Structures are given as C-alpha cells and as structure tokens.
Amino acid sequence: MSREKVYNFSAGPSMMPESVLQKAGAEIMDYKGSGMSVMEMSHRSSIFADIFSETKAKLRRALKVPDSHEILFLQGGATLQFAAIPMNLMGKPGCADYAVTGNFSTLAAKEAAKYGRVNIACDSSDKGHSYIPKELSLSEDASYFYYCANNTIYGTEWKHIPDVGDRTLVCDMSSNIISKPVDVAKYGLIYAGAQKNMAPAGLTVIIIDKALAGRELPICPSVMSYATLIEKDSMLNTPPCWCIYMLVLMLDWLESIGGVEEMEKLKSYRAKLLYDQLDESRLFIPHAQPDSRSDMNVTFRTGSDELDARFIKGASERGLLNLKGHRLTGGMRASLYNAMPVEGVEALIDYMKEFEVRHNV
Amino acid sequence: MSREKVYNFSAGPSMMPESVLQKAGAEIMDYKGSGMSVMEMSHRSSIFADIFSETKAKLRRALKVPDSHEILFLQGGATLQFAAIPMNLMGKPGCADYAVTGNFSTLAAKEAAKYGRVNIACDSSDKGHSYIPKELSLSEDASYFYYCANNTIYGTEWKHIPDVGDRTLVCDMSSNIISKPVDVAKYGLIYAGAQKNMAPAGLTVIIIDKALAGRELPICPSVMSYATLIEKDSMLNTPPCWCIYMLVLMLDWLESIGGVEEMEKLKSYRAKLLYDQLDESRLFIPHAQPDSRSDMNVTFRTGSDELDARFIKGASERGLLNLKGHRLTGGMRASLYNAMPVEGVEALIDYMKEFEVRHNV
C-alpha cells in the first residue's frame, strides 16, 4: 500500500511511521495465522496475553523502568489522571504542589483542588506560558509535586528534573515520552496519553512506584485505584487492546532505529533545524523563550492573524497539515513527534522561506 | 485478504464481520485520499469531525434515539460508569435501586454504595443467577433504578423493560445493544462497552436524557461529569478515534443487513437453534431458566468438569474458539453477538452432536 505524501504536524493524535501502519494493515484480518484480528481477541486469551506482556516488557526495556515501578495500560487520558492522582496520592486532609506552566497543568491543578489543598509552586502565565520558571515555592506538607514535562500548546519543555527534595515527583509526559531517556527511578508516577508519541488515542500509560499504591480516598472509583489496577495487571476491566497492539508495533520501530537514545539525537536535530530557521527569520516570531523551547511542539507566529491564516492555508495545500496553533494561543504550531521525518521539517522550512520572500520581508 | 476460518465465541472482545475488517484494512494507511490513517488524525480536524458526527447520526438512526437524548463516545468501560452513574445521578444524600442479576450488576451496586445508599431491588444469586426475578422491591426515595439488560457471565437476559413507575431507568446494555430495537425514550441513561456488539475495546457509548445532566456531586471528576461531556460533545479530551471509526463501519454493515429489526430476527433464530439443541441433548445442561435465556450468551455444561474441558479443547481444535465459561461459573459459554454467522452456530451444533455420540450418551 502507498499513499499521498503528507506531513502531519498535528499536536495529537499524530503521525505514525508508514512501516508501522503497513504492518498493522497486513495483520488486521488475521494476526499470525490465528484467523482473528487483534480487535476480535478476548483480552483474557493467551494470544492477547502474549501481546500485552510483550508490550509491557518492551516499554520497560525502552525506558529502563526499574522493578520498583509497575507499568499500567489504561483508558481515560490525562483528564482522568487529573482526578486519579489526587484521589490516590494526596491523602486526607491532603496537600500537593503544582507547577503551572501551561494549559494541562492548569487543568490538573484545578481538578486536584476538588480533593485537597493545592499549592501553586510556580506559574508562568505572567508571560503567556512562554517559559519554564526556575524558582519553585514548595509547601511543607505536600504529598507530591506535580508538573507537565512538555507544554503542548505553548511549546515549552522542562530541560531538567525539578529539584523537590524527597517529595514524590509526579509528571505528565504525554507529549514527550519515549522521545529521550528518562531516569524513571526519580519519579513516583509518570503518565502519558499515548496519542502523541506512542499509539492511537484511547490508551494511557502509567509508570508508578508500587510503594505509592493503596493510599486512595474512600471515594476513589475502583477504575481509578492504582492499588486495584496494579493487582489486576491493568485488567480490572477490558483494556484498549488494539491501542496496546499498536504500541508494541511502535516500540519495535523505535528499537529498530536505536531506541530513545537515538530518538533524542533525532528529535534535537529536527527541532534545531526549525528553531534556527525561526531565529534567522525576519517574519516569523518564536513564542517560547530560548532556554525553555520544546523539541516536540514548536510555536511561532507572524504577528498578523491574517498572514498566519494565509500561511496555514498555503501549507495545507502542499501537504503540510495541521499547523494551526491551539485556539488559546493562535499562531502556528509544528508538532515534531517521534514519527515526523526530517524531510517533513525540511519541507516546512522550504515553505517558510518561500513564504517570507513572497511577502517581501 | 483471506484468513483461516474460525468462529470466535468470545464473550468480548468478539467477532467482527469480515467485510468490516476488510474495509478498515483497505483504509488503514490512507483514509479517503487524505494521506493519513484515521489513527493519525487530529480529533479536532474537519476530516475526523465528519467521521464523528456520521457515527453519532447513524447510531441515532439505528436505535431511533429521540432528540431529548444525547449520545456520548467515551472511554473507561462499564467499570467507569459504575462510579459515574451514582456520582451524577444519585444526589446527596442519595439513594438508588439496583437489580442484582449477575456479576456486573453486583459490582455496579457495590461501587454505587461508595456514594450513597443502595437498595437491592432484587437478587437472583439464590439460584446461581439463572433467572431474571419477576418481583422488584423498590424504595421510596431512589433517584434511579439500575439494571443490566443481559448478564454475559450467566447467560440471562431481561425480556421486558422493568416497570418502575416514574423512576429514572438506568441500564447497562453492554452485551445486547444494537441486537434489537429498544424504546430509548423510556430510559434516563443507557450505556454499553463497545467490545461485544459494536466496536473494538476502548469505547463506551452513553445515551443520556439531557434533562438528567448537571446534578453531579462536587467530588465527581470532570471526566465523569455528564453535563461537561454533553457540553463538550464527548471531546473534553481526546476520544478513542479509531474505535469510533470502527463503530461507523459496524453501523454501515448493520444497516446493510436491515438494521436492528433484522438483527433481532437473526439473533433470535441463531439462539433458538442452540437452545433447541441443548433442550434435546442428553449430555448438555443449559444454565439459564427458559424464560430468562439470553440470546447473546448461551451457557451450558455437561455436569463433569473433565468432560467440559475435553469439549472445549476439541472445539478449539476445529476452530470453534473461546467456548470456555467464565471463571466464576465454569462450564461452557457460546457468545452469539451480532457478527456471529448462523454457520458458526451450526458448526457448534454439529460438533455437540458428534461429541454426544462419541461419549455414548
């Protein structure tokens, strides 16, 4: 199978490697001679159990997840975790520190306030969330410190693991997981919606220090209880089987190109190409401050809404899709997740140069 | 593409029509010339918005859902709804009536008790959940009456809509939705995990009377608030896009064979074939009482665990898969969801006859 050549800069769901889609397509009617599609398999069958455990093992290997931590494959996205995290980890009467550096951390802090006291440890809204604050104001009695590693909408990324002493670190890595190595042992809980770097929408990956389980509030729904989910190995109820299968294909592909170590080089190279172009440009203005720039989501604008719209429309006409910024920010956003080829970034840069010339700057 | 011929009697996830899988396979790399897989599409893009609204419209048409009711496409399965329903509908201090006729209604009642008072309106556990009770003991102050229309594990099915006066009816239709017409207007809320009759695992369909929204407890997570989900048209966060797309293919297939009206005839015919065989058999014993038999899940046993195991193993060897009963019940279970061809039931009956002869009964 072949297809029209497009580069999809969507902030998620997003591009997948052609080889992964080809493999999924080849197996969609008949997985390994079973006579069944993965979509038709009982989640309790041995054939699916093999897919499930292989996916877990490969993710564990890719991120060097220590034995202290369990991997869960769940549903509900980040928005479900916004509630599950405080209900499981805050205690009663509880408190937690939240770093507010974008839209998703704002929403997470707001949701957590339903279940306890939220201390805002930092807040970058004073400058349109264009930077990652260097100072944190931590509270004495917080059960955990929460931050979002990459701010998809504003295009900023934490370049360091925040120093919060012996507090439990909780991190939303939805938009930069498996783009680089991560020292998992430093985290109490990492979670990520799969639909950016990992798999189709509908899967949420949790990596949790098992020592944190079992502290949930009595009102915590069973489907959100980490203790229950660990005990049931993610199968309290039917998991999103197809998405898990797609994840193992993605992990095979990641391994084939050298794992997260190679991906880190690739994503840095890809982002640098685009940021260099932005820094040279007399038309396009990057949004994020240089030391806080995300390698996953590059945000920029011309300063004219009309010109932005013309740029986005022209891009779309040549197969450079979904460059429109989030409705909260306007402007442009190029999401460069794992599956974006360097050629996609080069095609975008060529178009940006042409567009500058055409608009006489 | 062709494949090994098997009949998959799994209780869910379960069989899908070959034509549906073929269509999904043909489009997996490139949906309608877009250059993208449905798995890669932004859920906010116009191309996916068309798939989303088409799916909703077709489900509305298939079940004749009145304008008073909204359709939601969510994640989290029945287990999430076990908590969402009381948190949204019970009120505070609240009460609800639960009919306990199987495993899922037992779990639903247990979860609801976290959020208010649960009155058990009936309980069929005295006879191994082999029947649907005729009498209900309703409480005065219940905000709603909850039941599970089809008990997947025990193989029983409500043949009537329970008479609960002007109380709000809430129904788990996970294992018999779109197998027959349903008078949606009589229900406050219908929900169904998609992985039996509708789509791959990872999608939960809710059909809710909009007048019921907006009564959630303050501790209700945003991702469970029906009011919020209705307001956001299921897009509070990224929905399970691929499953929604698979649902529209399933609905196209359903429409092509005559809709739920024809499906009702087909599923009754299919189930009758098997129940007639069970009633004639001198070896196999059906579990459910005749007036409570499910057309979706047919449960039976030989009376000997050893013989049951031999039957299941032999079935599997000839491509009659997943006939093993649930671990709570043992014995056999043949799930006959929408996509099960009559030939599958005939092949099972042929094997049952052979097995009887071979075991000298």
Instruction: Please give the average per-residue pLDDT across A94-108, as a whole number.
Output: 97
A251-275 per-position pLDDT tens digit: 999 999 999 999 999 999 999 999 9
Whether the pLDDT of residue A1 is over 70: the answer is: no
CA distance B252 to B259: 9
B56 phi/psi in degrees, rounded to 5: -60, -45
What's the rounded mean pLDDT across residues B181-194? Answer: 98
Percentage of chain A lying above the pLDDT 70 cut: 99
d(CA A283, nearest CA chain B) in Å:
27
pLDDT of residue B326: 94
Residue A360 has pLDDT above 90, yes or no: no
- What's phi and psi for B340, nearest 5 deg? -75, 120
Q: What is the ipTM of this complex?
A: 0.97
A262-300 exposure pattern, b = at least 16 Cβ within 10 A, e = fewer: ebbebbeebbebbbebbeebebbebbbeeebbbbbbbbb
Residue with tokens 């006291």: A117
Residues of B in contact with A246 (CB under 8 A): 39
Nearest chain B residue to A10, by CA: B42
Distance from CA of A280 to the nearest CA of B (A): 30
Chain B partners of A4 at a C-beta cutoff of 8 Å? 30, 33-35
Asked whether the beta carbons of residue A39 and residue B193 sit closer than 8 angstroms, the reply is no
pLDDT digits (tens, 9 = 90+) for B234-269: 999 999 999 999 999 999 999 999 999 999 999 999
Whether residues A39 and B222 touch (CB distance < 8 A) is answered with no
Neighbours of A342 (CB within 10 A): 12
Question: What is the pLDDT, as a whole number, of residue A46?
Answer: 95
pTM, to two decimals: 0.98
Average pLDDT, integer, range A337-347: 97
User: Is-contact A72 A229, C-beta < 8 A?
Assistant: yes
Specify the higher pLDDT residue, B260 or A360. B260
pLDDT in the model for residue B360: 73
Whether A138 contacts A97, CB under 8 Å: yes
| Secondary structure (H, E, C), chain A | CCCCCCEECCCCCCCCCHHHHHHHHHHCCCHHHCCCCHHHCCCCCHHHHHHHHHHHHHHHHHCCCCCCEEEEEECCHHHHHHHHHHHHHCCCCCEEEEEECCHHHHHHHHHHCCCCEEEEEEECHHHCCCCCCCCCCCCCCCCEEEEECEECCCCEECCCCCCCCCCEEEEECCCCCCCCCCCHHHCCEEEEECCCCCCCCCCEEEEEEHHHCCCCCCCCCHHHCHHHHHHCCCCCCCCCHHHHHHHHHHHHHHHHCCHHHHHHHHHHHHHHHHHHHHHHCCCCEECCCHHHECCCEEEEECCCHHHHHHHHHHHHHCCEECCECCCCCCCEEEECCCCCCHHHHHHHHHHHHHHHHHCCC
Q: Is residue A341 predicted with pLDDT exceeding 80?
A: yes
Nearest-angstrom CA–CA distance, B204 and B298: 24
A275-327 pLDDT per residue, tens:
999 999 999 999 999 999 999 999 999 999 999 999 999 999 999 999 999 99
Average the pLDDT over B57-71 and give the result.
98
d(CA A53, CA B126): 38
Q: In this complex, which of B28, B238, B319 lies closest to A201 when CB atoms are compared?
A: B238
| Beta-carbon separation of B240 and A42 below 8 A | no
Q: Does B144 score more than 70 pLDDT? A: yes
Looking at residue B280, its pLDDT comes to: 96
Q: Is the pLDDT of residue B1 over 70?
A: no
| Chain-chain contact of A238 with B13 (C-beta, under 8 angstroms) | yes
Angle at B70 between CA B66 and CA B74, to 5 degrees: 140
Task: Pick the residue from chain A with its C-alpha nearest to B2.
Answer: A29
Give the model's pLDDT for residue B2.
Answer: 61
Cβ–Cβ of A41/B10 closer than 8 Å? yes
* Cβ separation A75–B202 shorter than 8 A: yes
A83 alpha carbon, distance to own chain's centre: 18
Q: Please, which residues have CB within 8 angstroms of residue B219's CB and are 6 or more apart in sequence?
A: A114, A115, A219, B87
Which pLDDT does position B53 carry in this prediction? 98
A-chain residues near B16 (CB < 8 A): 37, 39-40
Given a cut of 90, whether residue A92 has pLDDT beyond it is no
Contact state of B240 with A75 under an 8 Å Cβ cutoff: yes
- B210 CB-near residues (< 8 Å, 6+ apart): B68, B69, B70, B230
Flag whether pLDDT at B228 surpasses 90: yes
Closest partner residue to A223 (CB to CB) among B43, B76, B195 is: B76
Note the pLDDT of residue B283. 96
pLDDT at residue A249 tops 90: yes
Over 70: is that where the pLDDT of B285 sits? yes
Give the Å distances, CA to CA, from A106 to A81, A128, A165, A207.
Answer: 13, 13, 23, 22
Judged by CB atoms closer than 8 Å, whether chains meet at B201 and A10 is answered as no
Say what the pLDDT of residue A2 is: 60
Distance CA A129, CA A289 (A): 10
* pLDDT at res. B286: 97
Question: Percentage of chain A surpassing pLDDT 90?
Answer: 96
- Name the helix (H) or strand (E) containing B219: none
Contact B99, B136 (CB under 8 A): yes
Chain B's closest residue to A116, CA to CA, is B219
pLDDT in tens, B7-19: 999 999 999 999 9
Residue A118 pLDDT: 98
Of B14, B29, B36, the CB nearest to A22: B29
Per-residue confidence (pLDDT) for residue A330, from 0 to 100: 94
Contact B114 A218 (CB under 8 A): yes
In angstroms, the separation between the Cα of residue B44 and the nearest Cα of chain A is 9
Report pLDDT digits (tens) over A181-223. 999 999 999 999 999 999 999 999 999 999 999 999 999 999 9
Q: Residue A49 pLDDT > 80, yes or no?
A: yes
pLDDT, residue A4, reads: 73
Distance between B349 CA and the closest CA of chain A, angstroms:
21
For β-strands A204-209 and A69-74, DSSP reports them as: antiparallel
Average pLDDT, chain B: 96
